[in-house]
């Protein structure tokens, strides 16, 4: 009798376990990648969950490099990156991966200088020299020349960069390589580079945190991180010679030209773009999806989500410091989404 | 003797079988334990084959960590790990020994349990909580300290560099705090095993408190070295708290102010993002070396402690002296 | 100064140093506890325990899913570690003289010293990559691996402490070795073993590194074992390195909850040990 009752209890527990795992109707999809768009992605996934309570999209911001790695390994269903995958990376993935731009953003130079509240002007060449370690003090003549009205102290410049592989870094070094031949040959362009100088912070969050806590520091973060944490950021000179502050308008201007000559796979760089009112350190950010993934049900959900994000989702962009995609690009993407197998 | 009871042989064979079953059964679980350690070593080696073959010993001598160019040198991380752990040892050992001596030799009985509890609490605080405290409390304090250092001292390579707060000094301090309870509790156990005759003999010869304790410490020296080494092993593998305050920069630097990085730290920051096979292999190889180093350090320390216990057991005098009342 | 008074001075200085080192060690403890309690208490409200994490920038989020997640992975870890730990401890104590027991003991001590991040890398290789899935199970495996040596060594030491007369008495009455151990020796050491398990639990509840690449994390609530799960430690880490003030406050609150769990477990363990010693004295 005792044995039978033990068996009964064991059976009940087993069935509860099975029932527990099978009975839930909710679908959970896991993704990982860029920290750059994390504020708007987290808003999107929360809003989408409100509209479709049975869909839970779990996104972890571990950096663009992480997003590319995990989707290649297949440990997450979708990835996100600010730096498009290189041909080598595309080759390593087991299936074809498609890029879909979701929103436009900008990298801004954030700084924390004691007793300086003014907005500083930077040129690309000066920024490159700071990150190369050639300009080491805030009152360097090159900086003073650009900011004549500001009383820059003789404090050491502490450079802050990303310690993890990141698309935000990619955008930044992509820009530096375009404006500084020395940067291009010495350091190069990738999601993780061998930084000549500086401290490493993990994620946009880590860099913003280090800059706020370290007097005399300069770093680069996505615009929204600077806005939300009220960190001072400067203007950057564009190809037309204007000193432009990152904003929805100036970032949209950067994408205007690209919309006309968009490649079929959407992998394009818009840093240092031509035109008036253009913010030079702007970029698309992409979602990565397999063209024919195994789990077709999850694929359908993601495709529906991306369609929502490209249309209704864009209205959240402005308030979070991003710029919505140009209409022409959205149209191209809707067509491209047909390629993703959903059944 | 008596005639064999029918069925007895079967029963005893059954008994032996059960005993064998017991031995094999529990032995199986013990084997799982051993298998786990072997599996860890094996898996780490397997996944790091790529860089082992490509870079060989140069991996440990090169300072360059450049994922873009595919150049991987682990020297900065080894340096960072060893430097921070040794500094932590220098800071923590006197304090740990002081605590061990105080609790086992000097403090009144009513104070013993609470003090032991408090030191255990220090060991029980999770690493992430230390890290959190490190970022928001320790780093600003260290930054203030670094800024206040006179310019004369700043010229020294030990104190060079901008006062950013995150760096070797913060890492060493936080490691020291985390290591103290470990070394101190093992040292306390070691001191407990020193036979009373040692101290009593010293007091009988007119020793001061310090001299008697010194005699006990001398007797226990191998065990104490073992305790300190255990603390060293703990410091080598510490991850979260150190990663959050060391600055995550792969550079070899003598300066206490300079942001650096450790083996465990680079694994925590970069593991999920290694986007090429070579990069991943390089990181796993760092994990493999960390595994081997901690294995060696921990084994040596256990050996020291064990050998002290063994020599103590074999050399205990048979003469049982009347315990002398020690006057404080 | 005469030789004697110099010696006495040295002794006094030494005693003073020892007392001072106790104070020095207690300072950071007081510091850490003070900050965690004062910062954490402000953000500890019903929302924290009840709500899910909110998107970046929105206030009022909580760590409900992380608390459940921590319970899940520690529970899974115990399920895995307790049988292996106790039974290997039994082997090591029963066959203490054999060479294999020495090997097992060495293995346990080695495993104890392996850095938690290395165990995380190992668990990623065998439990995440082959299944292409971050999961609570993988997190539980990593934590379980860390618990095994603690439980094994504690069990071994406690079983060795049980007076030989008990075992011999059982054997003399004709019990098999198995019966002697499981019906007589083990139950008398049980309170101590449970203490060891509780202490091991307290230790792994505070672990972050092995969960980073196994359980990953989750913004939503889940009880599925094969999905990523949020845990208190990883959430505190993620929030601590972020630049959002609201998330920092939640990180302190999470740290307070963690310390509370650890404190409760340690007190329970001490209480149990004292009761055990009291019982044995009788």
Query: For residue range C2-50, what is the model confidence (pLDDT) as tens digits?
Result: 888 888 888 889 989 999 999 988 898 898 999 899 988 888 888 888 8
Report strand pairing: A282-290 vs A199-201.
unpaired
The yes-or-no verdict on residue B11 having pLDDT over 70 is no
Q: Count chain B–chain C contacts defined by CB atoms under 8 A.
A: 256
Of A32, A46, A229, the CB nearest to C243: A229
Q: What is the pLDDT of residues C70-103, one digit of tens each?
A: 999 999 999 999 999 999 999 998 888 888 998 9
Buried b (16+ CB within 10 A) or exposed e, B293-317: bbbebbbbbbebbeebbeebeeeee
Of A156, A188, A199, the CB nearest to B68: A188
Percent of chain C with pLDDT over 90: 25
Residue C126 contacts B, CB cutoff 8 Å: yes
Which residues from chain C sit within 8 angstroms of residue B121, using beta carbons?
29, 263, 266
CA distance C55 to chain A (A): 5
Nearest-angstrom CA–CA distance, B67 and B279: 6
Q: Count of CB atoms within 10 A of residue A93's CB?
A: 17
Tell whether C200 and C251 lie within a shared domain: yes
Of A28, A202, A320, the CB nearest to C220: A28
Q: Count chain A–chain C contacts defined by CB atoms under 8 A.
A: 75
What are the residues whose beta carbons fall under 8 Å from the beta carbon of C209, sequence distance 6 or more?
A: B127, B239, B240, B264, B268, C115, C116, C117, C120
Tell whether C11 and C143 lie within a shared domain: no
Residue A91 contacts B, CB cutoff 8 Å: no
Of C57, C228, C244, the CB nearest to A30: C228
The yes-or-no verdict on residue A193 having pLDDT over 90 is no
Inter-CA distances, C281 with A131, C165, C226, C276, C277, Å:
70, 16, 48, 9, 6
| Burial (0-12, 13-18, 19+ Cβ within 10 Å), C108 | buried
What pLDDT, on the 0 to 100 scale, is given for residue A22?
Answer: 45
Nearest-angstrom CA–CA distance, C97 and C95: 6
Which of A69, A188, A195 to mutate against chain B (most B CBs within 10 Å)?
A69
The yes-or-no verdict on residue A23 having pLDDT over 50 is no
What pLDDT, on the 0 to 100 scale, is given for residue B327?
Answer: 35
- Position B320 confidence tier, pLDDT thresholds 50, 70, 90: very low
The yes-or-no verdict on residue B19 having pLDDT over 50 is yes
Residue A164 contacts B, CB cutoff 8 Å: yes
Phi, psi of B162 (to 5 degrees): -70, 145
Angle between helices A327-337 and A248-260 (to 10 degrees): 60
Q: What is the pLDDT of residues C155-189, one digit of tens each?
A: 888 888 888 888 888 888 888 888 888 888 888 88
The yes-or-no verdict on residue A175 having pLDDT over 70 is yes
Tell whether C191 and C250 lie within a shared domain: yes
Per the CB < 8 A criterion, the answer to whether A279 and A253 are in contact is: yes
Q: Is residue B42 part of a domain?
A: no
Of A20, A58, A203, the CB nearest to C228: A58
Nearest-angstrom CA–CA distance, B247 and B241: 11
Angle at A45 between CA A41 and CA A46, to 5 degrees: 115
- Position A281 confidence tier, pLDDT thresholds 50, 70, 90: very high
The yes-or-no verdict on residue B50 having pLDDT over 50 is yes
Split into its structural domains, chain B has a count of 1
Q: What is the pLDDT of residues B81-125, one digit of tens each?
A: 999 999 999 999 999 999 999 998 888 889 888 888 888 888 888
Average pLDDT score over residue span A164-178: 87
Tell whether C169 and C243 lie within a shared domain: yes
The yes-or-no verdict on residue B316 having pLDDT over 70 is no
B160: helix, strand or coil: coil
Taking CB atoms and an 8 Å limit, are B259 and A199 in contact across chains? yes
Per the CB < 8 A criterion, the answer to whether C119 and C213 are in contact is: no
Q: What is the pLDDT of residues A246-257, one digit of tens each?
A: 988 888 888 887
The yes-or-no verdict on residue C140 having pLDDT over 50 is yes
Which residues from chain B sit within 8 angstroms of residue C202, using beta carbons?
124
What pLDDT, on the 0 to 100 scale, is given for residue B51?
Answer: 87
Which residue, among A146, A326, A176, has the nearest Cα to A251 in the 3D structure?
A326
Residue whose token pair is 């495709």: A303
Taking CB atoms and an 8 Å limit, are C109 and B302 in contact across chains? yes
CA distance B158 to chain C (A): 25
The whole domain housing C32 covers 3-43
What pLDDT, on the 0 to 100 scale, is given for residue A6?
Answer: 60
The yes-or-no verdict on residue A12 having pLDDT over 80 is no
Percent of chain C with pLDDT over 70: 97
Taking CB atoms and an 8 Å limit, are B121 and C263 in contact across chains? yes
Tell whether C37 and C54 lie within a shared domain: no
Report strand pairing: A243-244 vs A158-162.
unpaired
What pLDDT, on the 0 to 100 scale, is given for residue B3?
Answer: 54
Angle at C271 between CA C265 and CA C274, to 5 degrees: 140
What pLDDT, on the 0 to 100 scale, is given for residue A1?
Answer: 47
Which residues from chain A sit within 8 angstroms of residue B65, using beta carbons?
194
Percent of chain B with pLDDT over 90: 23
Give the neighbours of chain A: at least 3 Cβ pairs within 8 Å: B, C
Mean confidence (pLDDT) of chain C: 86
Tell whether C31 and C157 lie within a shared domain: no
CA distance B253 to chain A (A): 13
CA distance B293 to chain C (A): 10
Nearest-angstrom CA–CA distance, A90 and A62: 20
A233: helix, strand or coil: strand
The yes-or-no verdict on residue B4 having pLDDT over 80 is no
Q: Where are the beta strands (DSSP E) in B30-126?
A: 65-66, 71-72
- Position A134 confidence tier, pLDDT thresholds 50, 70, 90: very high
What pLDDT, on the 0 to 100 scale, is given for residue A165?
Answer: 74
- With residue B125 as reference, give the H or E element that holds it: none
Q: What is the pLDDT of residues A47-78, one digit of tens each?
A: 999 999 999 999 998 888 888 888 998 889 99
Q: Is residue B23 part of a domain?
A: no
Q: Is residue B241 part of a domain?
A: yes
What sign does the CA torsion over A213, A218, A219, A225 have? Answer: positive
The yes-or-no verdict on residue A17 having pLDDT over 60 is no
The token pair that represents A256 in the structure block: 């205007």
Per the CB < 8 A criterion, the answer to whether A165 and A32 are in contact is: no
Of A1-5, B40-44, B48-52, C25-29, the range with the lowest mean pLDDT is A1-5
The yes-or-no verdict on residue B57 having pLDDT over 60 is yes
What pLDDT, on the 0 to 100 scale, is given for residue A19?
Answer: 45
Q: Is residue B321 part of a domain?
A: no
Per the CB < 8 A criterion, the answer to whether A160 and A199 are in contact is: yes
More confident residue, C209 or A166: C209
Taking CB atoms and an 8 Å limit, are A190 and B68 in contact across chains? yes
What pLDDT, on the 0 to 100 scale, is given for residue C243?
Answer: 65
Give the neighbours of chain B: at least 3 Cβ pairs within 8 Å: A, C
What pLDDT, on the 0 to 100 scale, is given for residue B80?
Answer: 93
Residue B70 contacts A, CB cutoff 8 Å: no
Say what the ipTM of the complex is.
0.84
Tell whether C212 and C274 lie within a shared domain: yes
Which of A14, A46, A211 to mutate against chain C (most C CBs within 10 Å)?
A46
The whole domain housing B156 covers 76-311
Can you list the alpha helix ranges (DSSP code H) found in C162-231? 164-172, 177-179, 186-205, 209-212
The yes-or-no verdict on residue B6 having pLDDT over 80 is no
Tell whether C38 and C63 lie within a shared domain: no
Tell whether C39 and C57 lie within a shared domain: no
Residue B12 contacts C, CB cutoff 8 Å: no
Q: What is the CATH number of the domain that holds B296?
A: 1.10.3720.10
Tell whether C13 and C61 lie within a shared domain: no
Average pLDDT score over residue span C105-134: 89
Which of B240, B273, B277 to mutate against chain A (most A CBs within 10 Å)?
B273
Mean confidence (pLDDT) of chain A: 86
Average pLDDT score over residue span C44-62: 80
Split into its structural domains, chain C has a count of 2
The yes-or-no verdict on residue A126 having pLDDT over 90 is yes
Which of B115, B128, B302 to mutate against chain C (most C CBs within 10 Å)?
B128
Inter-CA distances, A25 with A20, A21, A53, Å:
11, 10, 10
Q: Is residue B167 part of a domain?
A: yes
Of B193-202, B230-239, B301-310, the range with the lowest mean pLDDT is B301-310
Q: What is the CATH number of the domain that holds C254?
A: 1.10.3720.10
What pLDDT, on the 0 to 100 scale, is given for residue C280?
Answer: 57
Taking CB atoms and an 8 Å limit, are C203 and B121 in contact across chains? no
Q: What is the pLDDT of residues B126-158, one digit of tens each?
A: 888 998 899 888 988 998 888 888 878 878 888
What pLDDT, on the 0 to 100 scale, is given for residue B315?
Answer: 56
Tell whether C197 and C261 lie within a shared domain: yes
Per the CB < 8 A criterion, the answer to whether C49 and C67 are in contact is: yes
The yes-or-no verdict on residue C118 having pLDDT over 50 is yes
């Amino acid at each position: 009798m005792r044995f039978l009752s033990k068996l009964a209890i064991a059976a009940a527990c087993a069935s509860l376990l099975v029932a527990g795992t099978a009975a839930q109707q909710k679908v959970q999809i896991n993704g990982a990648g860029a920290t750059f768009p994390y504020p708007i992605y987290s808003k999107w996934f929360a809003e989408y969950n409100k509209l479709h309570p049975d869909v839970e999209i779990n996104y972890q911001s571990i950096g663009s490099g992480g997003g590319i790695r995990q989707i290649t390994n297949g440990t997450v269903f979708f990835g996100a990156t600010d730096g498009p995958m290189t041909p080598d990376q595309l080759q390593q993935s087991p299936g074809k991966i498609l890029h879909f731009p979701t929103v436009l953003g900008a990298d801004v130079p954030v700084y924390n200088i004691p007793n300086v509240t003014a907005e500083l002007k930077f040129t690309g060449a000066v920024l490159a020299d700071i990150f190369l370690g050639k300009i080491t003090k805030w009152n360097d003549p090159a900086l003073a020349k650009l900011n004549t009205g500001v009383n820059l102290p003789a404090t050491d410049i502490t450079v802050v960069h990303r310690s993890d592989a990141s698309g935000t870094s990619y955008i930044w070094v992509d820009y530096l390589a375009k404006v500084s031949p020395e940067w291009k040959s010495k350091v190069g362009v990738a999601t993780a580079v061998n930084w000549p100088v500086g401290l490493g912070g993990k994620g946009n969050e880590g860099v913003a945190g280090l800059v706020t806590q370290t007097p005399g520091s300069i770093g680069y973060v996505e615009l929204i991180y600077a806005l939300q944490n009220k960190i001072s950021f400067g203007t950057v000179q564009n190809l037309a010679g204007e000193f432009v502050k990152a904003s929805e308008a100036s970032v949209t201007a950067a994408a205007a030209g690209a919309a006309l000559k968009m490649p079929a796979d959407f992998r394009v760089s818009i840093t240092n773009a031509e035109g008036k009112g253009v913010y030079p350190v702007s970029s698309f950010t992409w979602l990565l999806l397999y063209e024919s993934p195994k789990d077709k049900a999850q694929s359908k959900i993601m495709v529906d989500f991306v369609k929502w994000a490209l249309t209704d989702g864009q209205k959240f962009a402005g308030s979070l410091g991003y710029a919505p995609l140009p209409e022409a690009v959205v149209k191209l993407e809707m067509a491209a989404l047909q390629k993703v197998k959903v059944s | 003797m008596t005639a064999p009871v029918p069925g007895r042989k079967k029963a005893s064979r059954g008994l032996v079988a059960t005993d064998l079953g017991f031995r094999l059964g529990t032995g199986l679980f013990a084997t799982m334990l051993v298998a786990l350690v072997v599996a860890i070593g094996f898996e780490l080696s397997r996944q790091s084959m790529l860089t082992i073959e490509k870079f060989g010993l140069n991996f440990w001598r090169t300072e360059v960590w450049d994922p873009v160019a595919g150049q991987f040198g682990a020297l900065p991380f080894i340096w960072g790990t060893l430097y921070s752990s040794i500094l932590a040892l220098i800071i923590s050992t006197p304090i740990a020994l002081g605590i061990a001596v105080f609790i086992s030799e000097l403090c009144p009985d009513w104070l013993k349990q609470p003090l032991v509890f408090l030191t255990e609490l220090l060991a029980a605080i999770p690493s992430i909580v230390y890290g959190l405290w490190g970022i928001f409390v320790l780093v600003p304090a260290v930054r203030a300290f670094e800024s206040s250092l006179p310019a004369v001292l700043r010229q020294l390579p030990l104190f060079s560099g901008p006062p950013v707060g995150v760096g070797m000094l913060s890492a060493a301090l936080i490691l020291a705090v985390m290591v103290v309870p470990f070394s101190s509790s093992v040292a306390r156990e070691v001191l407990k095993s020193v036979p009373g005759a040692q101290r009593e003999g010293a007091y009988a010869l007119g020793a001061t408190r310090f001299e008697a304790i010194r005699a006990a410490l001398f007797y226990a020296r191998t065990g104490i070295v073992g305790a300190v080494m255990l603390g060293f092993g703990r410091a080598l593998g510490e991850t979260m708290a150190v990663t959050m305050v060391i600055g995550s920069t792969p550079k070899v630097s003598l300066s206490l102010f300079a942001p650096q990085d450790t083996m465990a730290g680079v694994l925590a920051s970069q593991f999920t993002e290694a986007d090429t096979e070579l990069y991943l292999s390089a990181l796993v190889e760092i994990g493999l070396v960390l595994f081997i180093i901690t294995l060696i350090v921990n084994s040596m320390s256990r050996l020291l402690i064990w050998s002290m216990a063994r020599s103590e057991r074999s050399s205990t005098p048979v003469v049982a002296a009347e315990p002398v009342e020690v006057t404080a | 100064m005469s030789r004697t008074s110099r010696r006495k001075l040295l002794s006094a200085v030494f005693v003073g140093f020892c007392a001072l080192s106790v104070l020095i060690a207690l300072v950071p403890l007081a510091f850490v506890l003070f900050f965690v309690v004062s910062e954490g208490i402000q953000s500890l409200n019903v929302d924290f325990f009840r709500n899910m994490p909110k998107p970046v920038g929105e206030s009022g989020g909580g760590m409900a899913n992380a608390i459940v997640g921590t319970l899940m992975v520690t529970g899974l870890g115990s399920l895995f570690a307790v049988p292996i730990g106790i039974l290997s401890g039994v082997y090591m104590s029963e066959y203490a003289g054999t060479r294999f027991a020495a090997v097992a003991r060495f293995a346990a001590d080695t495993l104890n010293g392996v850095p938690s991040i290395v165990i995380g890398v190992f668990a990623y290789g065998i439990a995440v990559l082959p299944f292409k899935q971050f999961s609570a199970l993988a997190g539980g495996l990593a934590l379980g691996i860390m618990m095994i040596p603690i439980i094994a060594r504690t069990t071994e030491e406690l079983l060795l402490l049980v007076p030989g007369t008990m075992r011999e008495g059982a054997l003399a009455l004709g019990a098999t070795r198995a019966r002697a151990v499981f019906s007589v020796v083990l139950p008398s050491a049980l309170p101590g073993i449970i203490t060891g398990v509780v202490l091991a639990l307290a230790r792994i509840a505070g672990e972050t590194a092995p969960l980073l690449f196994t359980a990953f994390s989750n913004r939503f609530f889940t009880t599925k074992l094969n999905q990523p799960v949020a845990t208190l430690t990883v959430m505190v880490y993620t929030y601590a390195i972020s630049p959002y003030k609201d998330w920092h406050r939640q990180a302190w609150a999470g740290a307070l909850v963690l310390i509370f769990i650890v404190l409760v477990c340690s007190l329970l363990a001490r209480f149990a040990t004292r009761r055990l010693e009291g019982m044995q004295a009788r």
